[in-house]
Structure 1
Amino acid sequence: MSDHTSETPRPADAPEPSEASGQAGTSERIAWSKASVPEPRDTTSEPPKVPGYAQRGGQPHPPNPWRQSSPQPSALSTLRPAAPAAIRGATLCSVIVTAMLSALLLGDGLGPNALIVAVSAALGAFFAARTAGRRLRPWTAFWAVGGLALLAVPALRDAGWPVFLAVVSAVALGSLALHGSRSWLGVFLGSLGLFSSIADGLAWGARGVRARMTGSRGRLGVILRSVAVAIVLLIVFGALFASADAAFADVLGSLMPDVSLSGTPWRFLLFLVGLAGALAAAYAAAAPVRWDGITVRRGKPRGRLEWALPLVVLNLLFAVFVAVQLTVLLGGYDKVMAEPGLSYSAYARQGFWQLLWATLLTLLVIALALRWAPRGRGSDRTLVRSVLGVLCLLTLIVVASALRRMDLYVDAYGLTRLRISVAAVELWLGVVLVLIMAAGVFGARLLPRAVAASAAVGVLAFGLVSPDGLIAEQNVQRYRDGHSIDIGYLRGLSADAVPALDTLPEPLRSCALMDIEGSLRSDDSSWYATSWGEAQARDILRKRSPADPTRSCSGSRTGIGGSDRDGDENDPYDPY
């Protein structure tokens, strides 16, 4: 008991004390007895005090500085949403069909088969996106339709270089359709983002197949057995009907792919590529990487004088160059040609490549200027638009001058693959400059996607116009106008040039078509690997037999009036 006591407070529900002395005494004794009895203590031991570092880390000792920390999440995982649900049956079937079509159709070359395989892969991506709840947006539809349209180039053209550009651009547009990026960095990474989903797509497909094998009660096995039985029936009855009718055998042989044991490893590799590509596309459609989440910090804005002075000086230089070009145009090119030591071809060639590099460097200057441009006030934005707008306008005139020089060059020496390619690039750079000027007026929100769309449209147009056909037509027309013709160069073109070369007189026609006809005769591809240009060339060559093959075609330059390519032999920019 303690030496002193304190008054115990009366509970609120305790009865009021009675006026009778007996009851008061009893209540008083009970109250004193309660106050004298100590309160029962909690018998459980009080937890020991733990240092702060142990409370945070759950360790009784300080953390070991040599111990490796837990792995941090990758940047890609932070940009990608949660893993999609298990792969559905429609997506899985589309992926398997894509892999089989890749193995059966792509082994013989490119033609309509590229579009067939791409449509199957696009269906798998569409089913996966619909399962994930993604909606079809206008830009997504534009990228998807543009990618499929680009794959029409292998179906129409035989030349390998525009076909390669079209296929690469189609893959980039398909990746953009899956990721839906809109910023500069997002559009660039989004065009390559399909490759980041290959590993995740393969793991996603493996999990889906394993889940279906264990939990579908044999439905996947039923599907596989049904497909196997259908294939066996097709082979057996197809062989019987083919042996019974020669016409049916010819039709069946042209429709069915030629599968041989010698090409089995190559076709197996194509199967794996098709499988991985289709799974990557489906996974990206269900869980796309948000590449727009990666932001590039803008540069520190500069003062008006520091920013504008170099650009104003550059504008003055461009203005002087443009003034000189206009003076030459008004005075006529004949006045320039009268200078000693300056030939027609030298003037046409001496400045094109420099002007092309000047255009590219101007675009780089514009990008850096926008990064460090002054901003914050309306007058700053007006200054930026004025200075860069004048620079873009002057650069457009430089682009026109470069194209004019290339036109003179082609008139002097004829059209080649390199010349038509760089002229197309220069023309596209002019389109980019126009888009930049439009962005300065209407806003730059759509500029990255507009530039990517212009590149895709340019590649599609370049493939559809048949560059090899244009080269052959231009050189044949020059021959008709009295210039010489380089048969040695033209005979190396693709089958797209046959319609134009077929109009040449003999023996030029046979000499120009000799190599093309030999390659077509040795290449008996199936319908799905034959382009429309190749089929058209075969029909032309079949209707009109060539001249005597023993006729001499050793001269690479044949024609009248000598060789107009004299002086062009050392052209380092034209290895073709």
Structure 2
Amino acid sequence: MRTATLWAAFATGVLSMLFLGDGLAVNLLFVAIPAALAAHFAAQAAGRRTRAWTLVWGVGGLALLAVPALRDADWPSFLAVVTAVALGSLALHGGRTWPAVLLGPIGVFNSVFTGAVWGWRGLRERAGGGHGRVGPVLRALVVAAVLLVVFGALFAGADAAFADLLGDLVPDASVSGGPWHVLLFVLGVVWALAAAHTAAAPARWDRVEIPEGRERGRVEWALPLIVLAVLFAVFNAVQLAVLFGGYDAVLKKTGQTYAEYARQGFWQLLLVTLLTLLVIVVALRWAPRDGSRDRTLVRGVLGTLCALALVVVASAVRRMDMYVEAYGLTRLRISVLSAELWLGLVIVLIMAAGVWGARWLPRAVAASAAAGVLVFGFVSPDGLIAERNVQRYEETGKFDLDYARDLSADAVPALDELKEPLRSCALRAIARGLGEDGPWYATSWGQARARQILDDRPVSPDADWSVCDRFDTDLMYR
């Protein structure tokens, strides 16, 4: 273990103790950077080289940690943090096969205990054999901390402006929160050591061998898939007919409303997309592979099925668009729509793998999922929901006020475009949820922007609940 690894882990613990107690925003990046350095130093000491995909996973993970710094909404931030941990683990392990991509994201958890033992052993070695190097540095840090506390307190007492500046810049490390700060310090050190130990001694998931499925005959393998492809083709023909102006005839024949037709179909088509991917995976395991004719047959049948599945994806997306036009946009709808679009991208990647080979496919699928989560967080889902529903209100006069009140501060810029008193009715609960200003390192850009808007145009005190209740909320849960 290099001394730099220990210092990076120690820095991670200190920054965790100082910055992570008040919420999550840009402080996550403060903590992640020294932890990444600890892993880098440990990998160098173990003789591992930094590869292109390692940089892709590492930079992607750090980019995902920027989402909580931008967005106030918890759900895209949580998704981004979980995906960042998965990408970080992939960067530490490496690998290009499906077992490596699927199992790599959980591999770092195996090093939580072993990494701590490894770090303690390295610290004892330096405290014993290299006491002359470590001891003076530790004493210097303690003396510097004491001097900063003493003279900082005196300067703060002498000048109120300096005290305010110090209070804004320096994290709260009061004695009352001592146990909590100690726990954050320990967690920061342990996770940094776990990352470093994983980088130094990664699990070799690439060595996990998946046995090939039993090869089937051409007729036995191809006939069910051809029948399925014909079914897809018939369904898609009907969808194309409806798409080019047949909605009125279909609705008249079924007796359904515009929105009921859209709602009924989307979830089934989403399930069809998932099952199609499952069928493709199973078909590849049992595919005939006796020569070039078999490879041509597999590519032709599965390529046709993938192309028809893309039309199903387009139909599902169109149905969700119809549903949103009728009832507005919600978190669930934008989430499942994003998932359906990503599944369509996976199908395109599978088709490309059939032409250029599948060696790159596992990492491409993982990278596309991470990129989707990153884009999902950066575009501000709550902001899009509010913007779309405000536009719908201007067109139809219908607005789900109860749903708008549950949105995060990211929705404030769009809701600010509403006319009074509906604007104040929609923003009152969000303004109350913002509360007082938090520390700068635990405040997202969405929160700061919302506070600025509400400071410039405060919520009207006349918009009480009796006024707000007169609005038709037009519930979107249908």
Alignment TM-score, normalising by the size of structure 2? 0.97
1:165-198 CA-to-partner distances (Å, cap 9, x unmatched) read: 0000000001101111110111111111111111
For residues 135 and 115 of structure 1, what CA distance do their matches in structure 2 show? 24
- Equivalent in the alignment of 2:182: 268
For residues 95 and 539 of structure 1, what CA distance do their matches in structure 2 show? 37
For residues 203 and 557 of structure 1, what CA distance do their matches in structure 2 show? 64
Match of 2:274 among 356, 360, 376: 360
The answer to whether structure 1 residue 118 and structure 2 residue 118 are counterparts is no
1:230-276 CA-to-partner distances (Å, cap 9, x unmatched) read: 11111111112212222221111111111234433333322222111
Shift of the 550–304 alpha-carbon distance from structure 1 to 2, 3 Å rule, reads closer
Q: Among the aligned pairs, what percent are the same residue?
A: 64
CA-based RMSD of the aligned residues comes to 1.5
The one-letter amino acid paired with 1:540 is I
The one-letter amino acid paired with 2:224 is P
- Equivalent in the alignment of 1:531: 444
Moved more, 198-207 or 425-434: 198-207
The answer to whether structure 1 residue 210 and structure 2 residue 124 are counterparts is yes
Where do residues 1-20 of structure 1 align in structure 2 (5 Å cutoff)? none
For residues 164 and 545 of structure 1, what CA distance do their matches in structure 2 show? 30
The one-letter amino acid paired with 2:437 is D
Shift of the 312–419 alpha-carbon distance from structure 1 to 2, 3 Å rule, reads same
Preserved CA contact (<8 Å) 1:110 1:530? yes
- Equivalent in the alignment of 1:186: 100
The answer to whether structure 1 residue 301 and structure 2 residue 215 are counterparts is yes
The answer to whether structure 1 residue 143 and structure 2 residue 57 are counterparts is yes
Moved more, 127-136 or 257-266: 257-266
Shift of 1:110: 0.5
Shift of the 554–297 alpha-carbon distance from structure 1 to 2, 3 Å rule, reads farther
Shift of the 223–553 alpha-carbon distance from structure 1 to 2, 3 Å rule, reads farther
The structure whose RCO (Cα within 8 Å, separation 6+) is larger is: 2
Shift of the 511–398 alpha-carbon distance from structure 1 to 2, 3 Å rule, reads same
The answer to whether structure 1 residue 545 and structure 2 residue 440 are counterparts is no
- Equivalent in the alignment of 1:310: 224
For residues 254 and 292 of structure 2, what CA distance do their matches in structure 1 show? 54
The answer to whether structure 1 residue 434 and structure 2 residue 348 are counterparts is yes
- Equivalent in the alignment of 1:492: 406
For residues 376 and 429 of structure 1, what CA distance do their matches in structure 2 show? 30
Question: After TM superposition, where is structure 1 displaced by more than 4 Å over at least 4 residues in a row?
Answer: 553-557
1:52-101 CA-to-partner distances (Å, cap 9, x unmatched) read: xxxxxxxxxxxxxxxxxxxxxxxxxxxxxxxxxxx211110000010111
Preserved CA contact (<8 Å) 1:489 1:556? no
Where do residues 12-31 of structure 1 align in structure 2 (5 Å cutoff)? none
The answer to whether structure 1 residue 398 and structure 2 residue 312 are counterparts is yes
Shift of 1:134: 1.4
The answer to whether structure 1 residue 477 and structure 2 residue 391 are counterparts is yes
Q: Could you tell me which runs of 5 or more consecutive residues in structure 1 were left unpaired when the two chains were aligned.
A: 1-86, 572-576
- Equivalent in the alignment of 1:388: 302
Shift of 1:102: 1.0
The one-letter amino acid paired with 1:172 is A
- Equivalent in the alignment of 1:251: 165
Where do residues 75-90 of structure 1 align in structure 2 (5 Å cutoff)? 87-90=1-4
The one-letter amino acid paired with 2:352 is A
**Which has the larger share of helix?**
2
Q: Number of matched residues?
A: 478
For residues 425 and 343 of structure 2, what CA distance do their matches in structure 1 show? 38
For residues 299 and 372 of structure 2, what CA distance do their matches in structure 1 show? 27
Preserved CA contact (<8 Å) 1:486 1:556? no
The answer to whether structure 1 residue 506 and structure 2 residue 420 are counterparts is yes
1:199-244 CA-to-partner distances (Å, cap 9, x unmatched) read: 2211110110111111113432222111111111111111122122
- Equivalent in the alignment of 1:134: 48
Preserved CA contact (<8 Å) 1:498 1:513? yes
SS of 2:396's equivalent in the other structure is coil
For residues 23 and 249 of structure 2, what CA distance do their matches in structure 1 show? 53
- Equivalent in the alignment of 1:64: none
Moved more, 281-290 or 261-270: 261-270
Shift of 1:285: 1.2
Preserved CA contact (<8 Å) 1:108 1:526? yes
SS of 2:253's equivalent in the other structure is coil
- Equivalent in the alignment of 1:164: 78
- Equivalent in the alignment of 2:112: 198
Moved more, 196-205 or 494-503: 196-205
The answer to whether structure 1 residue 224 and structure 2 residue 131 are counterparts is no
Shift of the 117–556 alpha-carbon distance from structure 1 to 2, 3 Å rule, reads farther
Moved more, 465-474 or 220-229: 220-229
Where do residues 91-110 of structure 1 align in structure 2 (5 Å cutoff)? 91-110=5-24
The one-letter amino acid paired with 2:148 is L
Shift of 1:335: 2.2
For residues 385 and 102 of structure 1, what CA distance do their matches in structure 2 show? 52
Shift of 1:555: 4.9
Shift of 1:327: 1.5
For residues 374 and 270 of structure 1, what CA distance do their matches in structure 2 show? 55
For residues 193 and 557 of structure 1, what CA distance do their matches in structure 2 show? 55
Moved more, 238-247 or 99-108: 238-247
1:385-404 CA-to-partner distances (Å, cap 9, x unmatched) read: 11110110000000000000
For residues 270 and 99 of structure 2, what CA distance do their matches in structure 1 show? 25
For residues 77 and 287 of structure 2, what CA distance do their matches in structure 1 show? 41
Shift of 1:483: 2.9
1:485-521 CA-to-partner distances (Å, cap 9, x unmatched) read: 0111101100000101111111111111111111112
- Equivalent in the alignment of 1:73: none
Preserved CA contact (<8 Å) 1:487 1:557? no
Shift of 1:314: 0.7
- Equivalent in the alignment of 1:20: none
For residues 143 and 270 of structure 2, what CA distance do their matches in structure 1 show? 61
1:399-444 CA-to-partner distances (Å, cap 9, x unmatched) read: 0000000000000000000000000000000000000000000000
SS of 2:131's equivalent in the other structure is coil
Shift of 1:564: 4.7
